[in-house]
Amino acid sequence: MSTHGKPKSGAAIDALELLKADHEKVKSLFREFESLCDNAEDDDERKFELVDDICYELTVHSMIEEEIFYPVLRSLIDDDQLLDEAEVEHAGARDLISQLEVMYPGDDHFDAMVTVLGEEMAHHIDKEESDLFVAARRSGIDLDNLGERLSARKDELDDDLSSPPSPVDAMEPHNGARRTPRPPNE
């Protein structure tokens, strides 16, 4: 059974620790997916759950970064190029995610697309943690306050995306919400 979200608590959390925890979570999901592929295990059910979790986690994570973290950094550091590149990398991930959202294990290129998404995210995460996190620390911003804002928005998105879609929402192509597995033989 796939799970997501995090326990809600009132404890302060450093913004960079929160984002790093997201990175570690998604990297471990990709690692598990790759180990299924390496061992030639056709555990389609587990692959489906993993990719569902990966798409969900990346969607929420990139939203809190684009809505809060990147604009704050953009106003504090003099390096638009760095943030532009991060946003372009997110757009690339969104594109792959929107394709994966309508695919299922066993479909053509399914494993390859997950692998490429994992490689692109590994590169993105490395750059973010080395360049953006360093710039954020140097800027002197209150990271606990920023962490609270990120955490609050994440909770909101978890609530929004976890609730079953209304009949109207269900007709939208991709809203980040959970989907139900395709029945066998379709």
Could you list the residues that contact Fe ion (CB under 5 A)? 65
Between 53 and 65, name the residue whose CB sits nearer to Fe ion.
65
Query: Minimum Å distance from CB 125 to Fe ion?
Result: 7
Query: Minimum Å distance from CB 27 to Fe ion?
Result: 12
Read out DSSP for the chain? Answer: ----------S---HHHHHHHHHHHHHHHHHHHHHHHHTT---HHHHHHHHHHHHHHHHHHHHHIIIIIHHHHHHHSS-HHHHHHHHHHHHHHHHHHHHHTT--TTSTTHHHHHHHHHHHHHHHHHHIIIIIHHHHHHHT--HHHHHHHHHHHHHHHHHHHHSPPPTTGGGSS--S---PPPPTT-
Query: Minimum Å distance from CB 11 to Fe ion?
Result: 24
Query: Minimum Å distance from CB 22 to Fe ion?
Result: 9
Query: Minimum Å distance from CB 121 to Fe ion?
Result: 8
Between 92 and 165, name the residue whose CB sits nearer to Fe ion.
92
Between 52 and 65, name the residue whose CB sits nearer to Fe ion.
65
Between 51 and 150, name the residue whose CB sits nearer to Fe ion.
150
> In this chain, which residue has its C-beta nearest to Fe ion?
65
CA angle 92, 97, 168 (to 5 degrees): 120
Cβ proximity of 157 and 66 under 8 Å: no
Q: What is the DSSP letter of 140?
A: T
Between 36 and 161, name the residue whose CB sits nearer to Fe ion.
161
Give me 8's structure tokens. Answer: 């809600």
Query: Minimum Å distance from CB 50 to Fe ion?
Result: 19
Between 65 and 148, name the residue whose CB sits nearer to Fe ion.
65
